[in-house]
Structure 1
Amino acid sequence: MILSTARLTLRLLTVDDWPLFFALHNNSVVIKKCFDKPSEAQIRAKFNERLKPWRPASNHPLCLVISEKSSGKQVGVTGFTASQLPDIQEVGYLLLPEFYGRGYATESLQAFLTWARGEFNIQMVKAVVSAGNRGSEKVLEKCGFKLVRVEPLAYEIAGVLLDDHHFLLDCTDNS
């Protein structure tokens, strides 16, 4: 499976993508906005979980690698995480900082969501962003997500409790 946009390609994660996945989970800029630095064993477990075949009822993630068409360089990953709620998929994405500010997160997320809605008839998609990650919030807003709830002091990064911002995209809303 390959998705294509004007500037990007998205394809399923493979075992050969370990260096990208490891780099995304070890980059201090990415970590500062998203999570505490995981151990290599934790990263490997997340990676292996994302290699499994996915369907909407799966309780494991779907992960696609994002690459630039022009250079072939790997930009990051996007996909669904394992959602705790029935009939709602949770989306996530991580990009290498050298690709920030180019619109790649928005472009890849829009392509991914268009594909997922058509392929699997996805009805609702959620995303959770820690307070302070305004770049990710802008991406979600550009893709049609609405902020529906703020959960105070819900997530800890580097010893600091942060609010979680919960976003929702109603895929059945054609307005």
Structure 2
Amino acid sequence: MTEQIHEIRLTVNGVEHETAVPARRLLSDALRHDLGLTGTHVGCEHGVCGACTVLVDGQPMRSCLMFAVSAAGHEVTTVEGLENPDGTLGPVQQAFRECHGLQCGFCTPGFLTTITAGIAENPEPTEDEARDMIAGNLCRCTGYQNIVKAVCRAAELARESEDVQ
């Protein structure tokens, strides 16, 4: 018995992709293996660690828990899509750089997407709100202090860029 293959159209980082996947192909696998977007990392494969988090219609989603066929018709944003239109670092990326919010970097893509959605919802988070924002993402290296600083700095940078426009 052969597995049925589905032709789907995925919009990822503003670019439309056509691909053929089995119904059980996870979004994380489709992004990494079918589309070559390897910035999304797969950690626990159970939705616990948050390393695979992407944005689906602007909301954080564990891509290891979502089937690729379910993403058809939705806008998916991966870590590769977080830079500014001119190719410079986006506010969350810049804040991670300035605040030394990463060490090994494995969990970073999930944090960046999660924080992007978080500051869109709460553009002026307190430190406690920043901690709540990242509570679903695990990091084994940093101790979270610089990540919390990066959340607050990212919100500040995002507000400043809105003021300029």
Same fold (TM over 0.5): no
Report the TM range for the smaller structure's normalisation.
0.3 to 0.5
Counting strand residues as a fraction of each chain, which structure ranks higher? 1
Name the structure where helix makes up a greater proportion of residues. Answer: 2
Which one has the largest radius of gyration? Answer: 2
Higher RCO (C-alpha under 8 Å, 6+ residues apart): 2
TM-score by length of 1: 0.31
